[in-house]
Structure 1
Amino acid sequence: MKLGLGLYAGMITDENLRFARQMGVTHIVAHLPGEETLPSTREGYWSYEDLRRLREFVESHGLKLEAIENFPPHHWDQILLAGPGRDEQMENLKKTIRNMGRAGIPIMGYYFSLAGVWGRVMGPFARGGALSPGYIEEQAPEQRPIPNGEVWGHRIRDDAPPGDIGTVSHEEMWERLTYFLENLVPVAEEAGVRLAAHPDDPPIPVLRGTARLITHPDHYQRLLDIVPSYYNGVEFCQGTIAEMPGADVYEAIRRYASAGKICYVHFRNVRGKAPNYREVFIDEGDVDMIRALRIYKECGYDGVLIPDHTPQTSCAAPWHAGMAYALGYMRAALTMIEREDP
């Protein structure tokens, strides 16, 4: 298994890539890169030239660009909404996937949701009062309908008519996902790029009147069965899986790792279950992280694990310190696991 680090838009810099190398990281996941990283974002797809330059920049620091995570909302809002422009957007997504394959970037992570990551609050939830996200039902914002022109909490169409998108059922969302996968997986197969689905965070069945698709590990199987293919896979957010009511995170690891469906892992820890959970330091949550690593190994998973996000420590560099703690733990744990007998 390989140690990775996720970097958000604007964070893919010389300084942060040097930090990654210093922490023993070998692989990078670029999360939602925008125009500052990929100027062609404004065109509705990512160009080969931009993607190649991004990969080469990461490689110039002795690292590998393992994945890009999440399409910009304005690249696929019509697909998520089943709007009149979805066929045009699908053609642009196909361009992106083809260009990723040509540029040598092997994984595209995505999160098929209208509300996105919504309703979480920041608080002193981790050890010693370190700040981290959580979902606390009584503190969640009022679940107002999603306005027209918005997806994922982003206002992307100022010319949208007044009103809201209304309610969207589970079957409607599954139909939209089916359109997405049936159109894009064949292109991903040709390009050699795996599509990796993130589960719903928070894993709550309905938010803001819109259904959520992956709120239990079993739901992943329905997604995988739509288009059975090596290139239709899972972005296994272990923290989100652990938050799911009724979910056994160890069984879920075993199930999807054994099937070869995990493209990469968000390796973080939590306390509690939806609708009340808190993200905590990697070594203090409900999940036995060493046990989890042993299951990944037993099931033949040899891909990348990233911390995703971590509590922010009380210091001058809270993000770097939090990441350094998680990465140090992961590096030591991976070294120990790899030295154990098969």
Structure 2
Amino acid sequence: MEMTFRWFGDQNDSVNLSDIRQIPNVKGIVWTLLNQPVGEAWPEEEIAREVSKIKENGFHPEVVESLNIHEDIKLGKPTRDDYIKKYIDTMEILSKHGVRVICYNFMPVFDWIRTDLERPLEDNSTAMHYEHKILDDMSPKDLIHNMKENTSFELPGWEKEKLDIIQDLFKAYESVTRESLWDNLQYFLEAVIPKAEELDIRLAIHPDDPPWSLFNLPRIISNERDINRLINLYPSTHNGFTFCTGSLGANRDNDLVEIAKKYVDHIFFAHIRNIRYLNDTDFVETSHRECDGNIPILSVLETLYRNDFKYYIRPDHGRQLWNEECRPGYGLYDRALGIMYMNGIIDHLDKEDKK
């Protein structure tokens, strides 16, 4: 497995590539063009510029996260073919510049959601927190109001250009069921996987986060059954998923070790994150150290290692430490600590193998 680190670009990240260079064993940068409109093809000159920066700092650019899916594709609108063509156009350019894995998601309207971005922890650090009742008590109308009136209520992963059309999006999804969303995902995969095979790019869908429906929107990548269905939707060595321990782990019924073992050949990217359960639905993010939360980090890493996981891994969300000003969950310090924790586990497994 190869260690990587997510970076949002010079204009959108408090962390510098030169800072990341000082973390031992980081080989690649997981990157994106954050300011590109969703659905439009990425300009090659901007791709080349970003890749050049990454390489100049001693990293490879082999993983992109996220090349987002336009809502018209998820909704199955007639315009989806044009957006799929643009998606493929971007894949072709990314392939020319060394990209080998694309992480994407198929979550309607939102990416991942938290209700508090800076919840204080016992050690005086802060972390992201999810309280189900807050969202469960909201209507889409309440959500729109909060997002327009309260700048602190900013959802991570939110594409701000959607704010003006969010009411229309909710309306459009009223007729979309889980089965029709599956149909629309299959349509997308049937169009892009043959090109992915040709380009030798692996597509790794990210699980729903949290892994259940919100605002009556369907979600379809939430458990082992969904993962199995995804893989069989378009059987291919280039159709797989991102194994996110925090997202899948929020569903208490998911056996993360079993999923890692059973589907290792279709895991092209792994996000290692720890969370602590507060009740049946609520959780707070913690350090990567296993005993600080409820995710079996040690067993997951050992399972990936023993089953010859050969793709990419990165620390996922971290706490905000030592007064660092950063994107919530994406500071330098705690993710660096997470890498060193994982490095220690991997070094131990290497040593055991050599006995």
Aligned equivalent of 2:104: 110
**Distance in 2 separating the partners of 1:293 and 1:243:** 18
Aligned equivalent of 2:267: 262
**Distance in 2 separating the partners of 1:17 and 1:294:** 29
> Following TM superposition, by how much is the alpha carbon of 1:329 offset from its aligned partner in structure 2, in angstroms?
1.5
> Following TM superposition, by how much is the alpha carbon of 1:135 offset from its aligned partner in structure 2, in angstroms?
1.5
Which structure shows the higher strand fraction? 1
Aligned equivalent of 1:27: 28
Extract unaligned runs of 5+ from structure 1: none
Name the aligned partner's letter for residue 183 of structure 2.
Answer: E
Task: State the secondary structure of the residue aligned to 1:266.
Answer: strand
**Distance in 2 separating the partners of 1:119 and 1:315:** 21
Name the aligned partner's letter for residue 275 of structure 1.
Answer: T
**Distance in 2 separating the partners of 1:234 and 1:43:** 21
Aligned equivalent of 2:159: 154
Overall identity of the aligned pairs, in %: 24
> Following TM superposition, by how much is the alpha carbon of 1:118 offset from its aligned partner in structure 2, in angstroms?
2.8
My pick for the range that moved more, 307-316 or 272-281, is: 272-281
> Following TM superposition, by how much is the alpha carbon of 1:166 offset from its aligned partner in structure 2, in angstroms?
4.2
**Distance in 2 separating the partners of 1:34 and 1:248:** 33
Name the aligned partner's letter for residue 81 of structure 1.
Answer: L
Name the aligned partner's letter for residue 222 of structure 1.
Answer: R
Relative to structure 1, is the Cα distance of residues 248 and 13 closer, same or farther in structure 2, using a 3 angstrom cutoff? closer
**Distance in 1 separating the partners of 2:305 and 2:162:** 45
> Following TM superposition, by how much is the alpha carbon of 1:13 offset from its aligned partner in structure 2, in angstroms?
7.2
> Following TM superposition, by how much is the alpha carbon of 1:254 offset from its aligned partner in structure 2, in angstroms?
0.9
- Residue of structure 1 aligned with 2:283, choices 270, 277, 282: 277
> Following TM superposition, by how much is the alpha carbon of 1:127 offset from its aligned partner in structure 2, in angstroms?
4.6
CA distances 1:164-204 after superposition (whole Å, capped 9, x unpaired): 32422101110110111011111111111111100000111
Aligned equivalent of 2:334: 322
Provide TM-score, normalisation by structure 2: 0.84
Task: State the secondary structure of the residue aligned to 2:308.
Answer: coil
Provide TM-score, normalisation by structure 1: 0.87
Q: Does 1:130 align with 2:125?
A: yes
Relative to structure 1, is the Cα distance of residues 162 and 220 closer, same or farther in structure 2, using a 3 angstrom cutoff? closer
> Following TM superposition, by how much is the alpha carbon of 1:119 offset from its aligned partner in structure 2, in angstroms?
4.5
Q: How many residues align?
A: 329
Relative to structure 1, is the Cα distance of residues 118 and 291 closer, same or farther in structure 2, using a 3 angstrom cutoff? closer
| Cα root mean square deviation, aligned | 2.7
Task: State the secondary structure of the residue aligned to 2:172.
Answer: coil
Relative to structure 1, is the Cα distance of residues 162 and 264 closer, same or farther in structure 2, using a 3 angstrom cutoff? closer
Q: Does 1:312 align with 2:307?
A: no
My pick for the range that moved more, 152-161 or 327-336, is: 152-161
> Following TM superposition, by how much is the alpha carbon of 1:325 offset from its aligned partner in structure 2, in angstroms?
1.7
